[in-house]
Amino acid sequence: MPESGPSTPYVANKPKDIPTAEALRARIPGWGVDLDRKDRPSYPREVYDPGSTGAHWDYPEEQPHREGRERSIEHGQLTPVFGTSAPLHGVSGSIRRYAYRYGEGRAAHWLLLLLGDRVDAWGAHAASFVSLRPDNPITETGVLAEGRRHGIASRFGRKRVDVNHQWIDPIVVAGPWVAGAAGAFLGVRAIVRRGRR
């Protein structure tokens, strides 16, 4: 026990070293202007006021071209409005469509979507090599910023704790490319050897 006796929280009073309101107001511009909790913008959390949003409909007109749009099975219907950024397609689309058979509470739903993401990426990389704009891992990873934005000076001698795992990033990014190239090389070599026999 300290010489001065027990202190907060072993006794009821609040900590003593909190500055007074006057001191804080003098030091911090605007200190306490939102002190009244009931006068804060998100108080209370729910305020029923449908006339305040700008909506001039009870239910929005439905966006067209709704056929085939995937939706969560936890929705009772397709929402009236939806994004059209990247419609499902190919193998990744099939995986993702299958994922939408599961509810959002199921790990299978999200893990299948992640699998679809990876298949989508691998397919897009492969397709890019028969296009006029093949993927370029140098420009697309922005790794040239390492030179232009002080990559070494930004990282070292600064007590950054993320340096202990950043070395994994190049493996995560380049690993599939290296594995793919190695696989292609081994495959071609096997075909050539078989042809020589």
> Cα(90)–Cα(119) distance, rounded to whole angstroms?
10
Q: Is 92 exposed, middle or buried (0-12, 13-18, 19+ CB in 10 A)?
A: buried
- Which 8-state DSSP code applies to residue 10? S
- Site track 110-139 with another protein (rule: CB under 8 A), x = hit: xx-xx-xxx-xxxxxx-------x-xxx-x
Among 1, 33, 132, 192, binds another protein (CB under 8 A): 33
- Positions in 138-157 near another protein (CB under 8 A): 139-146, 148-151, 154-155
Q: Is 3 in the site for another protein (CB under 8 A)?
A: no
**Helix extents (H) in the chain:** 21-27, 90-99, 107-128, 137-140, 145-148, 151-155, 163-166, 168-196
> Considering the complex, what minimum distance in angstroms separates the CB of residue 2 from another protein?
11
Binder of another protein out of 5, 129, 165, 196 (CB under 8 A): 165
Nearer to another protein, 167 or 197 (CB): 167
Task: Report how far residue 175's alpha carbon sits from residue 56's, in angstroms, rounded to the nearest whole number.
Answer: 52
Is 173 near another protein (CB under 8 A)?
yes
Q: Which residue in 169, 180, 181, 184 binds another protein (CB under 8 A)? A: 169
Cβ proximity to another protein, 75 vs 193, nearer residue = 75
Q: To the nearest 10°, the Cα dihedral for 63, 69, 75, 78? A: 20
Determine the Cα–Cα distance for residues 137 and 174; give it in Å rounded to an integer: 8
Contact between 24 and another protein by CB under 8 A: the answer reads yes
* Binds another protein (CB under 8 A): choice among 26, 32, 101, 126: 32
Q: How far apart are CA 114 and CA 116, in angstroms?
A: 5
Closest separation in Å from C-beta 73 to another protein: 9
CA triplet 103, 124, 118: central angle to 5 degrees? Answer: 40
Among 40-48, 178-186, 188-196, the segment contacting another protein (CB under 8 A): 40-48
Q: According to CB under 8 A, which residues from 48 to 107 bind another protein? A: 48-50, 53-61, 63-65, 69-72, 74-75, 78-86, 92, 96, 99-100, 104, 107
HSE value, Cβ hemisphere, 13 Å, CA-based, for 60:
10
